[in-house]
Structure 1
Amino acid sequence: MSLVERSHGIAMHRVNAMVLRYWYLLVSSWPRMLELVYWPALQIITWGFLQNYISQNAGFFAQAGGTLIGAVILWDILFRGQLGFSISFLEEMWARNLGNLMMSPLKPIEFLISLMIMSLIRLAIGIIPMVILAMFFKFNLFALGLPLIAFFCNLIFTSWSLGIFVSGLVLRNGLGAESIVWTLMFGLMPLACVYYPVSVLPAWLQYIAWALPPTYVFEGMRALLFDHTFRADLMLTALAINVVLFIVSFAIFLGLLNSARRAGTLISGGE
């Protein structure tokens, strides 16, 4: 038995089994694979042409080093990370298989870890073509250097926290709450200041914006592209908020799971 299994009671063979289950579901359906590539590619092409147009007509944006395309890619990491997590969870809801999983030796933490791993796999399938396409519009994401690691980690942690939270809501309320999987992230988008600085928001909204970890990432990206300065303070603040957000979302998930067990919604899982 490994050190992880002894110290935390997490059986990695069960996590691996769940990841294989989701992987087989993914690769067995070409429409699923196509969808992962299609939407990111469509976004980068659309925003890439817009960036070209703005660069040709506004010197300020020409000096921004592809701020719009960079924002699109980072936003897609956040959005696809959460969606990849939630879609794998919804596969169990759609198949009415969640009750079976929860009655098996599989622990909730193992279930969530498998969803996180699948989130990374699905994200990679969609983002890699997107990054390659961005190079045709003269934007190299990897030119951001080591700060890109901090941007990615903070965004993926936020996406997992939100994925855990919305999965708990669907778990407790059934597929009638499925729409929140698709809408929650877009509701946060204006406050995360993806395409504009926090300063353009009204003063009272700025307090809410600074409570969201992605806001620090997008502000950090703009500081790097405009001022060529890496704001480590922004990344550390985002990480601290992410830690709190992750713990709270996990606690909420466990609470909603226990409530679903008592209410019997694990078996029904319908509308």
Structure 2
Amino acid sequence: MPHDVRHPPERGFSPIQTPQSVAFAPRRVLAIVLRHTYVLKSSFPRLLELAYWPTVQMVLWGFITTFFVSHSSWVAEAFGVLLAGVLLWDVMFRGNLGLSISFMEEMWSRNLGHLFVSPLRPYELVASIMTMSFIRTVVGIVPATLLAIVFYEFNIYGLGLPLVTFFANLLVFGWVIGLLVSAMILRFGLGAESLAWVAIFAFGPLSGIYYPIDTLPGWLQPVAWAMTPAYVFEGMRAVLFDGVFRWDLFGGAVALNVLYLGAATLVFLRTFTTARKLGLLLDVGE
């Protein structure tokens, strides 16, 4: 006899439920696990990120521990040297993140295609997101510097004019990383957006934020000296320890920044040209 649609369902089950569907089903759990496994396998940045953070933390704190074991009185020689390192490192971090986030906000809102229907040029976009990075960095870092005065009586502005050079060089290097990350996101999609947060921390152990560059193994020191932050943080310690501004370190930082910023801008603009030809400005998925 045909089922009477007016007949109420069996007690305890909705019309679309059966005893089998209510019971816990491992196959459904496996289906969701497989779904996320396939997403993970198809995205190298996500896969890399799993091992990235533990490795970076281990390397960074390993070098810090190695240095302090043999230089236990080092911090006492220059009050606030660690705080200065933290605050200046945050300038580079904010510079990178401010640029990357400004670019990704255009991708999240699917606005790149609309922007470039207008007369806007790619290099004008680069200039605008650099400006936004500067604004975001200043807004983010100034409250922290003021709180350092209140809580710890450490005034980083006491560094004087050298602070301006440290800030500028670290901000520009942050732009370098941000432009390269933005180029990768533009080329490979939002699946690579986590690089905006994780890429910069690879430079932490090699930047000499909390310890001199000569703490690193000999084979790593040339790698560190090939990057701007090493010159900045060594210059910071020279001011705090010896009260002198190292023009040689300043010159090295500026020269590297000019080279790297030019190269990163070129990479971004070339990637943009490729993305426009491939129609990626409208395809911003993962």
RMSD (Å) for aligned C-alpha atoms: 1.3
Letter in 1 for 2:124: E
SS of 2:219's partner is helix
Q: CA deviation at 1:60?
A: 3.6
Once the two structures are superposed, the pairs formed by residues 168-247 of structure 1 within 5 Å of their partners are 168-247=183-262
Name the residue aligned to 1:83.
97
Shift of 1:193: 1.4
Amino acid in structure 1 at the alignment position of 2:251: L
Deviations 1:225-265 (A, max 9, x none): 11111111101111000000011001101111111112221
Aligned partners of 2:104 and 2:175: how far apart in 1?
15
Tell me, yes or no, if the aligned pair for 2:169 and 2:254 is still in contact at 8 Å: yes
C-alpha distance after superposition, 1:93-133 (max 9, x if no partner): 11111121122210111111111111111111111110101
Alignment of 1:115 onto 2:115: no
CA distance in 2, matches of 1:99, 1:192: 38
Aligned positions of 1:1-271 closer than 5 A: 59-135=73-149, 136-271=151-286
Between Structure 1 and Structure 2, the one with more helix by share is 1
| 1:65–1:226 CA contact under 8 A, matched in 2 | no
Determine the C-alpha separation between the residues in 2 that align with 1:165 and 1:104. 24
Residues 71 and 218 in structure 1, CA contact (< 8 A), matched pair in contact too: yes
Distance between the aligned counterparts of 2:220 and 2:117, measured in 1?
44
Letter in 2 for 1:68: L
Taking the aligned partners of 1:198 and 1:59, their CA distance within structure 2 comes to 18
For residue 189 of structure 2, give the secondary structure of its aligned residue in structure 1. helix
2:216 is aligned with what amino acid? L
SS of 1:155's equivalent in the other structure is helix
Q: Is the 8 A contact 2:186 2:272 kept in 1?
A: yes
- In our comparison, the structure showing a higher alpha carbon Rg is 2
Cα distance in 2 between the residues matched to 1:190 and 1:98:
35
- Paired residues in the alignment total 215
- 1:61: Cα distance to partner? 1.7
The answer (yes or no) to whether the contact 1:175–1:270 under 8 Å persists in 2 is: yes
Q: Aligned AA for 1:116?
A: M
Amino acid at match of 1:270: G
Q: What 5-or-longer segments of structure 2 have no aligned partner?
A: 1-67
What percent identity do the matched residue pairs reach? 51
TM-score, length-normalised on structure 1?
0.77
Measure the CA separation in 2 of the matches of 1:241 and 1:263.
33
Contact kept in structure 1, 2:77 and 2:241, CA below 8 Å: yes
**Shift in CA distance, 60/204, structure 1 to aligned 2, threshold 3 Å:** closer
Counterpart Cα distance in 2 of 1:175 and 1:117: 23
Alpha-carbon distance in structure 2 between the residues aligned to 1:101 and 1:212: 34
Separation (CA, whole Å) in 2 of partners of 1:177 and 1:164:
13
Q: Is the 8 A contact 2:130 2:175 kept in 1?
A: yes
Q: Displacement of 1:59 after TM fit?
A: 4.7
TM-score by length of 2: 0.73
